[in-house]
Amino acid sequence: MIIERRMTKNPVTCTPDMSIQDASDLMTREHVHRLPVLDKGGRLVGVISEKDILKAAPSPASTLSAYETNYLLSKLTVKKIMSRNPVTVTKDTTVEDAATMMVDQDLSCLPELEDGKLVGIVSKSDLFKMLLETFGARIPGTTISFLVEDQKGCMAKIIGDISSHGLFLVTCSVLNGTDSSNKLINIKVSGATESELMDIIKPYAIQIMDVRAYS
């Protein structure tokens, strides 16, 4: 899946000369945690986050009054504390590649550029939403997690058995197991109780880790 389908399009932005107080107010008003920074020509020059602003603000232990603190923040501009030269993606970047970049480089967001212009942004929140979809988190059903031997054709047999019982497969994911010899399978189906699903899976499982129903 390419990231373009999941990014936030036309994100709220700010300018380098905006005060960080105004940037903070804008984030609060728009319910966002970070802002791409665009220069007068519309080019992406940085990203500023709530974390950046918190770092720049006086310590809570400071003797400054609230008025003095706000005054200082009003004089400090975005360009002074923004993260410059942010890592970006294109419309052809996959979700897998974007997630890997964010984890490996400890990034909270990835602006998307098209012909040098900002067209969207993908954040950790966007990836968490995709994770919820992957696990069918908001779909009623019964979920089971279990370890199986890492053997070719194992998943096809399990899914075939589930289908033969007239159950609807909501989601299925395969993760690394406890070692290289096994895999952790997460399956969610509709139309089966916990005990019914366990009876189907038991012949294939090395160990059933968890099973529960969601309404």
Instruction: Report the candidate in 138, 141, 135, 131 with the shortest Cα–Cα distance to residue 214.
Output: 141
**Residue pLDDT, tens place only, 158-188:** 999 999 999 999 999 999 999 999 999 999 9
Q: Reply yes or no on whether the pLDDT at 91 is more than 90.
A: no
**Residue pLDDT, tens place only, 193-203:** 999 999 999 99
Q: How confident is the model at residue 61 (pLDDT cuts 50, 70, 90)?
A: very low
| Domains of the chain with CATH codes | 3-131 (3.10.580.10), 136-214 (3.30.70.260)
Q: Reply yes or no on whether the pLDDT at 65 is more than 80.
A: no
- Is pTM beyond 0.85? Reply is no
Q: Which residues fall within 8 angstroms of residue 123, CB to CB, at 6 or more apart?
A: 8, 33, 34, 108, 109, 110
Q: Reply yes or no on whether the pLDDT at 67 is more than 70.
A: no
Structure tokens at 141: 């059903």
| Angstrom distance (rounded) from CA 27 to CA 21 | 10
Amino acid at site 93? T
| Angstrom distance (rounded) from CA 93 to CA 200 | 39
21, 29, 47, 52, 65 from 70: Cα distances, Å: 7, 17, 22, 16, 9
The values of phi and psi at residue 202, to 5°, are -50, -45
| Angstrom distance (rounded) from CA 89 to CA 94 | 9
Mean pLDDT of the chain: 90
Q: Reply yes or no on whether the pLDDT at 103 is more than 50.
A: yes
What stretches of the chain show up as alpha helix (H) in DSSP? 20-30, 50-56, 66-75, 78-81, 95-104, 124-134, 154-164, 194-201
Sign of CA dihedral 104, 105, 109, 111: negative
Q: Reply yes or no on whether the pLDDT at 94 is more than 80.
A: yes
Rounded to a whole number, what is the largest CA-CA distance in the chain?
71
